[in-house]
Amino acid sequence: MKSRFTVEGLAGQKKLRGEIRIAGAKNSALKALAASALFEDEVQFENLPEIEDVARMRELLAAAKSSPVLVKEIAERFRASIVLTGPLLARYGTVTFPYPGGCVLGERPIDLFLQGFRALGATVEEHDELFHIKGSLRGARVVFPFVSVTATETLMLAAVLAQGQTVLENAAMEPEIPALAGYLNACGAGISGAGTPTITIEGTNGRLLRADGKTFSVIPDRIETGSFVLLAALLGDGVTVTHCEPAHVAALLTLLRRAGVKMEVGTDFIKVKGGGPYQSVSVRTHEYPGFPTDLQAPMAVFLTQCAGEGTILETIFDGRFRYVDDLVRMGANITVMNPHKIWIKGPTPLSCKELESPDLRAGLAYLIAAAVAEGASTVDNAYLIDRGYERIEERLSKLGLNIKREEV
């Protein structure tokens, strides 16, 4: 049964009030769940978000207990499924998986993963639309030609049980990586440098890790944090984002202050006091600690309500401006300058429209745009939003937004 959201827009009026709690990070939970395949005992979790991607990862793990094969019908539904290949290969010496699916964000090749597995001593074969990786892993030096969060995490996990030392160069530095490495180290792994461009893993030579009752606590979702801060800046009359890690969205907060947004930032909360009229800014996405690519669609909605001209330069993915046409239909003044850059002039009032989520992050941006607009908008393909945001309609309703889910 498909579902959609109906949002009664506030036409730019700042009426949202109260607190909204940040859930556990999707990108932390999925990688930690995958890492549980490295353990000989049970791993316990806290702050695990109740989202579709987490449910799918748990299904993959349950199926992999009897065979190191990723169920095609599940793995093709979300890209993070590929992270599980690292732990399964390390533990069983073999893994079979399909090309990972998920949101269509332009070309997202898996060459980095295959080359990394080969460097660690595995053989790679492809037939019948499946990849078959085999081998007893041994330490190696792996230099990523470009920064990839998922490849960094996958090869870090694969190297945990390997023989000898593995060094990952030009590694990603997202906060989910040191959070995971710290827990693995507490359970017997030998990882150093996580959170820096060079990660060193001393392999256990096949010895499985032991949790011994230690709980993995999923860190707050920084993309959700940023999205709710943007919503609060646009429509809030005193909204506090709680149980978050403000340092993880420092790049966004810097730009919002430059635009004129007034905020009080604490150790685990961000109180958005509003301000305005806001002035436009230009954005360049970048690997952490830069501005997150996953926040560029919500940021585009924010810029439609700012005075002046601004640009967004997307440096991580191609094909990520597919949401622009719908924002233009709603009344936004946006020009796609090239596949990696858009120009936005504001402020422009937005009007209600029937929308369909093109991907997980743009789907949330559509909800924000619908909230800003005048009239009632619908956002179809709610499943994509459910993949990353826990009970979104319930939480936004508590702030005063008229949002409802309906089956179609």
Which residues are identified as catalytic? 103
Helix (H, G, I), strand (E, B) or coil at 221: coil
Quote the crossing angle between the two packed helices 52-64 and 26-35, to the nearest 10°: 10
CB 203 within 8 A of CB 196: no
Rg (CA), the chain: 21
Rounded to an integer, what is the distance from CA 197 to the centroid of its chain?
20
Residue environment code for 216-253, b if the CB has 16+ CB neighbours within 10 A, otherwise e: bebbbbbbbbbbbbbbbbbbbbebbbbbbbbebbbbbb
DSSP secondary structure letters along 358-398? SSHHHHHHHHHHHHHSBSEEEEE-HHHHHTTSTTHHHHHHH
List alpha helices for 304-341, DSSP H: 324-329
β-pair partners for 169: 143, 198
Residue 213: how many other CB atoms lie within 10 Å: 9
Rounded CA-CA distance 284/303 in Å is 13
